[in-house]
Structure 1
Amino acid sequence: MDDVQRLRSSLDPFILSLLATVAIASVLPARGAGARAFSDLSTAGICLLFFLHGARLSPRAALDGMRQWRLHLLIFTLTFVVFPLLMLPLTLLEPGLIPHELFVGLVFLSVLPSTVQSSIAFTSIARGNVAAAVCSASMSNLIGVVLSPLLVSVLLGANARVSGSSMLSVAAQLLLPFLAGQLLRSRISPALKRHPRALASVDRGSVLIVVYTAFGAGVVAGIWHRVSWQQLVAVGVIDVALLAIVLTISTVGARMLGFDRGDRIAAVFCGSKKSLASGLPMATLLFPAATVSTIVLPLMIFHQIQLIACAALSRRYARRQAPEALADGAGPQASALAAAS
């Protein structure tokens, strides 16, 4: 029975939903008017997703977390400097080992901001500095709205259609809804706290709609004829190596900077993540529609790997926590902060 329970706990329902969505899009892709309708629906879903992100973020928790500026600087460096630098050696593998579109996808993955929900959740499970994680993950996404497209333009040049209009489109879909959520937070935050499951359903449902739309367009354009299973395995190996290197750098760097245990945990979980919720809509705005489904494959694979690896790592941190630290209320406080975010 224990083995069965462990197997069930290791199968994240969202990962299974992602795989099922890809399978459905591969068999029954939307075409014509249906494709346009799903495209509009995915745009609306992403706007709603970032509106709810803004409504959830507690300004007080964010201000409390901003005091650890050295921690945020480390996380920012990991997210927007270390990750892209680690992609430079891949130029030697392209196009021999992986096709050009997957190479573009790996570079795109490297410049994306950190996740919000999972960074905070894993920091909370590991009993780290949740207030700092709330601040850092949220600021990463806000900065990423502007910085990620600019880095795409610098690293990929003509392979991405970064222009003033595309930057405005990214801001319109991601930043403006977030700010609107912040403005209306006092009115709708109580309802969000009363219905956390409904909120999670909106989060995940929005991402699944974007995945279906992108992969449906890719299937129509012949994605599975352009990518072999060997190339997917190669991308998976690269993603695993990338995550392992960043986790190591974040752990060693936080120790060298003299951070306490809570800040080290926040650095590890915020600095090693890449946001699927931000990356998918950004990809649809920055790359040609026929290539988006291939370009986001490395991100989708990385997303699943980071969830599995960080879930195990957060439980390991929690088991190592000293009994006296657990007794002082750090766990419940962390959970409350995560809920407030």
Structure 2
Amino acid sequence: MTNMTNSSIQPTSSSNPLKATTRFVGAENLSLIIALVLLVALIASQTPFFFAPRNLMNIGMNLSVVGLLGVGMTIVIVSGALDISVGSIAGVASVVSAMLVTYVGTVLGGVAMGVLAGAILGVVNAAIITYLRVNAVVATLATLSAYRGLAFLIAPEGRPIGVLDQNFAWLGSGRILEGGGFPGVPVSLILLIIIAAIGHFVMSSTVFGRSVYSMGGNPAAARLAGINLNRMKFYIFTISGALAGLAGVLVTARTSSGQPASGTQGLELEAITAVFLGGAILAGGKGTIVGTMLAVVLLATLSNGMNLLGIPTFYQLVAKGFLLVVAVAIGQWRMARAEKAQARAAAATGS
């Protein structure tokens, strides 16, 4: 009886804050935290402005667009696919939302139609991939160009559409809890946190999330388990498109204009880089929303630090391209190591 009582009061692994934090973040993402700490220390040692509250809040506001794309991209890549068209989808949604707000005068309608436009374009991607049997990379590479052209076709004479509604602008550049010297928390950052939290819950605690991991890790086994892969592709690309549409709405709200290309071009590269840096692999089956968000923060911090230090933009592009190559290479190395470990385990069991 005494032994049972003693064992019942022993702290479990889940009660250890360090272990709980490591399990939430993921052991494979601890290197991202270390890299982020080192990067912050390096930037802070070169400029006294980095830790200014307004600068930190600006980082949070600037990462919100890429963060939203990263949530959708994580789901796509974990499923074993890739969506290169998200930047162009954001461009279409930016123009659509600007038109609704400016010409119809409805802020809520502008937001809703921007998200809906993104979801519809995501459905088109899924239809091309599913029914025409086109590889996801090739399909979305084609729609990247097509959707960018569509954004210019929708915009009057292919020009940006000015948006003067202050209520709409609040969504992209507004802040709450502002006062007393505190610059306030960006509304767009709060929106990202909510979406990321929902995405994390869905991917880690629901049947849908487990199905996404299954179809990315082993599509044949997932099909035998009763998962409708074609239907799942429609769900996944619709979610990715809707989040890209929401990102486009934020771009419009922040810049006070519907941008067919400027402000959205190149966003797909940043989102893909963040997902791979966050631990996803090209083959699918691995990756987390938490890892992607850490990578988004790392990229935003790097960009902000370079701006503070006066480093030209083209160096930032080189750095982001280099990070993408490194992230994919690390993912491939992890996958190869896991395969070797499985082979050794299988050989040991057989012997």
Q: Give me the TM-score of the superposition, normalised by structure 2.
A: 0.29
Q: Which of structures 1 and 2 has the bigger CA Rg?
A: 2
Q: Give me the TM-score of the superposition, normalised by structure 1.
A: 0.29
Point out the structure with the larger helix share.
1
Identify which of structures 1 and 2 has the higher relative contact order when contacts are C-alpha pairs closer than 8 Å and 6+ apart: 1
